[in-house]
Amino acid sequence: MNLRLYDTMAREKRPFAPADPRRVTMYVCGPTVYGFAHIGNARPVVVFDVLFRLLRQIYGENAVVYARNVTDVDDKINAKAADEGVDISVITERYLAAYHEDMGALGALRPTLEPRATAHIEAMQQQIAGLIQQGHAYAAEGHVLFDTQSYENYGKLSGRPLDEMIAGARVEVAPYKRHPADFVLWKPSKPGEPVWESPWGPGRPGWHIECSAMIESELGLPIDIHGGGIDLIFPHHENELAQGVCAHGGGEFARLWMHNGFLDMAGEKMSKSLGNVVIPHDLLQRVPGEVLRWALLSAHYRQPLDWTEGLIEQSRSSLDRLYGALQRVKGIAAERTDPPAAFLEALTDDLNTPRATAELFALAKALETAHGEAEKARLKGELLAAANLLGFLTADPDVWFAGAADEGLRAQVEALLEQRVEARNAKDWPTADRIREQLDGLGVIVMDGPQGATWRLKEPA
Q: What is the DSSP letter of 444?
A: E
Closest to Zn ion by CB, 209 or 356: 209
Give φ, ψ of 447 to 5 degrees: -120, 115
Stretch that binds Zn ion, among 26-34, 80-88, 214-222, 387-395 (CB under 5 A): 26-34
> Minimum distance between the CB of residue 214 and Zn ion, rounded to whole angstroms?
9
Rounded to whole angstroms, how far apart are CA atoms 363 and 92? 44
Stretch that binds Zn ion, among 6-14, 24-32, 178-186, 428-436 (CB under 5 A): 24-32
Laid out side by side, the sheet with 263-265 consists of 268-269, 263-265, 305-307
Closest to Zn ion by CB, 29 or 263: 29
Q: Which helix (H) or strand (E) holds 340?
A: none
Closest to Zn ion by CB, 107 or 228: 228
Q: Note the Cα 431 to chain centre separation in Å.
A: 50
Closest to Zn ion by CB, 45 or 211: 211
State the number of binding residues for Zn ion (CB under 5 A). Answer: 2
Q: What is the DSSP letter of 90?
A: H
Stretch that binds Zn ion, among 177-185, 188-196, 208-216, 396-404 (CB under 5 A): 208-216
Q: Choose, by CB under 5 A, the member of 50, 54, 73, 211 that binds Zn ion.
A: 211
> Minimum distance between the CB of residue 266 and Zn ion, rounded to whole angstroms?
29
Pattern 142-171, binding to Zn ion, x per CB under 5 A?
Answer: ------------------------------
> Minimum distance between the CB of residue 106 and Zn ion, rounded to whole angstroms?
21
> Minimum distance between the CB of residue 211 and Zn ion, rounded to whole angstroms?
3
> Minimum distance between the CB of residue 213 and Zn ion, rounded to whole angstroms?
10
Q: Are 121 and 196 in contact (CB under 8 A)?
A: yes
SS3 183: strand
Rounded to whole angstroms, how far apart are CA atoms 363 and 357? 10
> Minimum distance between the CB of residue 162 and Zn ion, rounded to whole angstroms?
20
> Minimum distance between the CB of residue 305 and Zn ion, rounded to whole angstroms?
21
Stretch that binds Zn ion, among 23-31, 95-103, 136-144, 417-425 (CB under 5 A): 23-31
Closest to Zn ion by CB, 125 or 353: 125
Pattern 332-371, binding to Zn ion, x per CB under 5 A?
Answer: ----------------------------------------
Is 258 a binder of Zn ion (CB under 5 A)? no
> Minimum distance between the CB of residue 71 and Zn ion, rounded to whole angstroms?
8
Rounded to whole angstroms, how far apart are CA atoms 178 and 289? 48
Rounded to whole angstroms, how far apart are CA atoms 401 and 325? 12
> Minimum distance between the CB of residue 9 and Zn ion, rounded to whole angstroms?
16
> Minimum distance between the CB of residue 27 and Zn ion, rounded to whole angstroms?
8
Q: Which helix (H) or strand (E) holds 32?
A: none
Closest to Zn ion by CB, 126 or 352: 126
What is the number of H-type helices and E-type strands within the chain? 16, 15
Q: Are 404 and 359 in contact (CB under 8 A)?
A: no
Would strands 24-28 and 64-68 be described as parallel, antiparallel, or unpaired? Answer: parallel
Stretch that binds Zn ion, among 133-141, 155-163, 204-212, 318-326 (CB under 5 A): 204-212
Closest to Zn ion by CB, 223 or 439: 223
Rounded to whole angstroms, how far apart are CA atoms 304 and 337? 34
Rounded to whole angstroms, how far apart are CA atoms 218 and 213? 8
**C-alpha closest to that of 203 among 186, 218, 226:** 186
Q: Choose, by CB under 5 A, the member of 28, 29, 121, 225 that binds Zn ion.
A: 29
Q: Are 206 and 184 in contact (CB under 8 A)?
A: yes
Closest to Zn ion by CB, 71 or 327: 71
Closest to Zn ion by CB, 70 or 356: 70
Radius of gyration of the chain (CA): 26
Closest to Zn ion by CB, 29 or 265: 29
Q: Are 155 and 9 in contact (CB under 8 A)?
A: no
Stretch that binds Zn ion, among 28-36, 43-51, 53-61, 277-285 (CB under 5 A): 28-36
> Minimum distance between the CB of residue 337 and Zn ion, rounded to whole angstroms?
38
Burial of 193 (0-12, 13-18, 19+ CB in 10 A): middle
Closest to Zn ion by CB, 140 or 169: 169
Would strands 183-187 and 143-146 be described as parallel, antiparallel, or unpaired? Answer: antiparallel
> Minimum distance between the CB of residue 231 and Zn ion, rounded to whole angstroms?
12
Q: Note the Cα 269 to chain centre separation in Å.
A: 19
Q: Are 459 and 317 in contact (CB under 8 A)?
A: yes
SS3 403: helix
Q: Which residues bind Zn ion (CB under 5 A)?
A: 29, 211
